[in-house]
Homo-oligomer: A and B are copies of this chain.
């Protein structure tokens, strides 16, 4: 028997025949990425149902030196959760580890399996009268293990932080198949190196996250949404400062959308609301939450918007007066990527910048792209409150997708060089995976790469954990 056959037999022994997928049609859904850009190949897809089974799989992988690609909901955007084309790796799906282990409403924590769907966790928290604030477009499909492995962001980062900030403890299976039980539900714990934050954001290259203790928050009594219109990104940034000064932690979302974004949405989804009669340069979707009452949220919002109008930071604003209106405003924001997809191909960038340089960054990068690709369409929107832009580029009218996409590297270079020069990050919330590995090598200092490699070598000396990702 070949080593691979021996390994697969060991896996069948461990998990049962049913949960060792090797037939092509069974494996297919696990091998193609969410945006349908790449299909890898695998020796098998393994579907353990418990931490002990995960540990057993890892021991077998270590013994036979089989590369392991951990996978949650497979909704990642950087080719981090699918294998390469070699067919030598196994995909380790965590989807069957999907129990809510404990909700502690007094400690305000929830302990979950890594394979729990994000939305399931939100619902379990709500059922206990609490808020689990992590929220992003894929929440109906993505798993918390994947959110942790990529340190997912989303729309509530401004108030509650990234996934990293929401996690108190982890359970991790090492590449050697040992179980580290770090499921601590503590707000303070200074007992040695921060292994938790090392595994968070490591995209499955250091070990397999199998469980986590996540923070819960009191549910706000009310939230209110508004859309403000202004002349420029610089005005939007000044509005951000004003809103934070006036509202503090009550400001729970602050999303920038360019005029082109809303025009695109209006073209592709004419049924959605059009809040303003005339066009403005930029728009900000903002949300206030109050721990007190709806009246308090409205009072706070009206006072802030009044001050912004007085200082001529904004040109107009609409405040949602019902849940339906609020959802309508959020739909404008959420339909931008969908409208882009319908309109044709585009080249996406998930970047972050110091908030103080964003207006300059947009101006400089717009000019540089226009010079290199006259008439290209800039779809700039994102989580302005976090300094995170989705700065996407669509082809000039008349250019075919094929010709446009042939220029992907050149376009990425213009955007990412400008990001780097501005002290920004080429991956704000999506991670590196296989997709941005070359960019990481280009922009990180040799020392930082060397430190990362030293950590990788220390924890995964066989290099079996998601090889070819990040480093």
Report which A residues bind B (CB closer than 8 A): 104, 106-109, 150-151, 153, 157, 159, 161-162, 164-165, 174, 178-182, 184-195, 197-198, 200-202, 206, 217-218, 220, 237, 241, 244-250, 289-292, 300, 352-357, 383, 386-388, 423-432, 436, 440, 443-445, 447-448, 451-452, 454-459, 470-471
Residues A190 and B247 in contact, CB atoms below 8 Å apart: no
| Partner among B191, B194, B197, B352 whose Cβ is within 8 Å of the Cβ of A187 | B352
Is A194 within 8 A of B189, CB to CB?
A: no
Contacts of A104 in B (CB 8 A): 354, 356
18 contacts between A and B (CB under 8 A): A153-B188, A157-B187, A179-B447, A180-B447, A180-B448, A184-B423, A186-B428, A188-B388, A190-B427, A192-B440, A193-B201, A193-B452, A194-B202, A195-B451, A217-B248, A248-B289, A454-B459, A457-B458
The answer to whether A188 touches B428 (Cβ under 8 A) is yes
B388:A452 contact, CB within 8 angstroms: no
- A76 to B: closest C-beta gap in Å: 11
Contact: B432 with A186, CB < 8 Å?
no
Chain B contacts for A245, CB-based, 8 A: 218, 291
Bound CA span A109–B387, Å: 13
Q: Known contacts A245-B291, A445-B181, A452-B195; decide if A190 and B354 are in contact (CB<8 Å).
A: no
Assuming the A-B contacts A164-B194, A178-B447, A454-B458, are A237 and B106 also in contact, with contact meaning beta carbons closer than 8 angstroms in the complex?
A: yes
Whether B354 and A452, one on each chain, are in contact in the complex, defined by CB atoms closer than 8 angstroms, is no
Q: Which residues of the other chain, B, contact A471 by a CB distance below 8 angstroms?
A: 192
Q: Could you say which residues of chain B place their CB within 8 Å of the CB of A206? A: 193
> What's the nearest-Cβ distance from chain B to residue A388, in Å?
5
CA distance A109 to B357 in the complex (A): 13
CB distance from A455 to the nearest CB of B (A): 6
Complex CA gap A80/B139 in Å reads 44
Among A181, A188, A354, A445, the one with the most B-chain Cβ atoms within 10 Å of its Cβ is A188
Indicate whether A193 sits within 8 Å of B107 (C-beta atoms), given known contacts A188-B386, A447-B180, A448-B182. Answer: no
Q: Which residues of B contact A451 (CB under 8 A)?
A: 174, 180, 193, 195, 459
Closest B-chain residue to A197, C-beta based?
Answer: B197
* Docked-complex contact A190 and B355, CB < 8 angstroms: no
Residues of B within 8 A of A352 (CB): 186-189
Contact across chains for A247 and B291 when beta carbons are under 8 A apart: yes
Can you name 18 extra interface pairs (CB under 8 A) apart from A194-B202, A249-B250? A104-B356, A107-B355, A185-B354, A185-B423, A186-B425, A187-B388, A188-B429, A189-B425, A190-B201, A191-B425, A191-B432, A192-B471, A194-B197, A197-B198, A218-B248, A246-B291, A248-B250, A455-B459
